[in-house]
C-alpha cells in the first residue's frame, strides 16, 4: 500500500490523499483485530456461517485440522495482540512525554519574551529578525510568528501565513502526525508505518496551503512561501512550521492551482471514497483468495 499511496496522481487533492493514508492505517488494525477476534471466538464466528455456505470444501479442511492446533493459534494470537498493545502504549507514552516537556518549556519561554496580538487571536509575536511562523498544538493551541515575518510580508501574505497555521490547529494535524510517528517507532518493520510520517507531513502542509489559499488567495500563499524560503529556521520538533523539506513540492502544487477549487460536496465525496476503498479493496481481494483456496481444496479432495 505505501507504494500505491506514494504514486497517487498529483491532481488528487491533498486532503483526499491524506484520507487514503489514514484509512489504510486504520484498515490495518481493523483487519488484524478482526483476524484475532475470529481466531479466539468460542464457537464459529458469525461470519463463518456465510463463508461455509460458499466454501464447503474449505470448511471441510478447517474441521479436519486437529483441535489443539486451533487452540494453539488462538492463544498465540492473544499473546501477540497483547504484546503489540503494550509496545504501542509504551511508544505513545514516551513520544507524548517528550513532546509535552518541549511544548511546556517553549510555552513558558514565550510567555516571557513574546507579545500577544489583539487583532489576531491565538497569535504570539516574537521579536526575531528571521521571518518564521509555526503552530503548537495544545489546549489551547497557538501560533508563533516573528516580527521579521511581518516586516518582509505584505498584509495579504501575512494573513495567508496565519490562515495556513490556523488550518493546522483546526484540522488537528499535529495529532495526526504524532500518531504516525508513534506507529513508526512502535513498528519499525512495517513498511506502511515507516513511510507514513514523511508522506503525511507533506500532505498536511499541502492541505494547509490549500486551506489558506481558499481563505485568502493562491498568489498570497505562494508569494509568502517564496518570500521566506531563503530563511534558515531551527524550531522545536513539536511544531508544524511554515517552511519544511516539502517547500519545493508545495510551491509546485500552488503553481498548479487555478482560481477554481473543488466544490465542497465533490471533495467530501472523494474523501468518503478514499476512506472506504482501502478497506473494501483488501476485503474483496481476501474474498477472491478465499474462493481460490476453496476451489483448490475441492480439487485436492476429489
- pLDDT tens digits, 171-205: 999 999 999 999 998 888 899 999 999 999 999 99
Residue of 96 and 156 predicted with greater confidence:
156
- Using the structure block, give the residue that is written with the C-alpha cell 512525554: 97
Mind listing the pLDDT tens digit for each residue in 197-226?
999 999 999 999 989 988 888 888 988 888
Give the pairing type, strands 123-126 and 240-241. unpaired
Q: Closest Cα to residue 22, out of 189, 250, 240, 207?
A: 207
Residue-range domain boundaries for the chain: 103-258
Whether the CB-CB separation of 174 and 240 falls below 8 Å is answered with: yes
Whole-number Å distance between alpha carbons of 109 and 25? 37
- pLDDT for 180 equals 92
- For 29-38, the CB contacts below 8 A with 24+ separation are 30/279, 31/282, 33/81, 35/77, 36/77, 36/78, 36/80, 36/81
Q: What is the pTM of this model?
A: 0.74
Cα 196 to Cα 27, 202, 219, 276, distances in angstroms? 14, 10, 30, 18
Grid cell, residue 177, equals 502526525
Instruction: Provide mean pLDDT across the span 14-36.
Output: 87
Give the number of other CB atoms < 10 A from CB of residue 291: 14
Mind listing the pLDDT tens digit for each residue in 94-146?
878 777 777 777 777 777 777 777 666 778 888 888 888 888 887 778 888 88
Band (pLDDT 50/70/90 cuts) for residue 166 is very high
Amino acid at each position: 500500500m505505501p507504494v500505491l499511496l506514494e504514486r497517487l496522481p498529483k491532481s488528487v487533492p491533498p486532503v483526499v490523499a491524506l484520507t487514503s493514508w489514514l484509512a489504510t492505517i486504520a484498515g490495518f488494525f481493523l483487519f488484524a483485530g478482526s483476524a484475532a477476534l475470529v481466531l479466539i471466538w468460542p464457537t464459529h464466528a458469525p461470519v463463518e456461517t456465510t463463508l461455509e455456505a460458499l466454501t464447503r470444501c474449505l470448511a471441510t479442511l478447517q474441521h479436519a485440522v486437529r483441535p489443539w492446533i486451533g487452540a494453539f493459534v488462538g492463544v498465540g494470537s492473544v499473546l501477540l495482540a497483547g504484546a503489540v498493545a503494550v509496545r504501542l502504549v509504551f511508544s505513545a507514552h514516551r513520544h507524548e512525554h517528550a513532546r509535552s516537556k518541549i511544548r511546556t518549556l517553549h510555552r513558558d519561554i514565550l510567555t516571557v519574551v513574546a507579545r500577544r496580538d489583539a487583532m489576531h487571536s491565538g497569535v504570539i509575536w516574537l521579536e526575531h529578525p528571521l521571518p518564521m511562523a509555526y503552530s503548537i498544538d495544545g489546549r489551547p493551541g497557538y501560533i508563533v510568528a516573528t516580527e521579521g515575518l511581518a516586516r518582509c510580508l505584505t498584509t495579504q501574505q501575512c494573513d495567508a501565513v496565519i490562515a495556513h497555521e490556523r488550518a493546522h490547529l483546526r484540522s488537528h494535524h499535529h495529532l495526526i502526525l504524532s500518531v504516525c510517528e508513534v506507529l513508526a517507532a512502535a513498528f519499525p518493520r512495517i513498511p506502511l508505518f515507516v513511510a507514513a510520517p514523511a508522506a503525511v507531513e507533506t500532505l498536511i502542509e499541502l492541505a494547509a496551503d490549500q486551506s489558506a489559499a481558499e481563505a485568502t488567495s493562491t498568489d498570497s500563499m505562494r508569494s509568502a512561501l517564496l518570500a521566506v524560503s531563503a530563511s534558515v529556521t531551527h524550531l522545536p520538533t513539536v511544531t508544524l512550521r511554515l517552511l519544511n523539506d516539502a517547500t519545493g513540492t508545495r510551491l509546485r502544487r500552488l503553481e498548479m492551482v487555478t482560481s477554481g477549487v473543488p466544490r465542497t460536496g465533490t471533495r467530501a465525496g472523494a474523501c468518503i471514497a478514499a476512506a472506504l476503498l482501502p478497506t473494501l479493496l483488501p476485503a474483496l481481494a481476501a474474498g477472491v483468495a478465499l474462493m481460490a483456496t476453496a476451489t483448490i481444496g475441492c480439487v485436492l479432495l476429489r
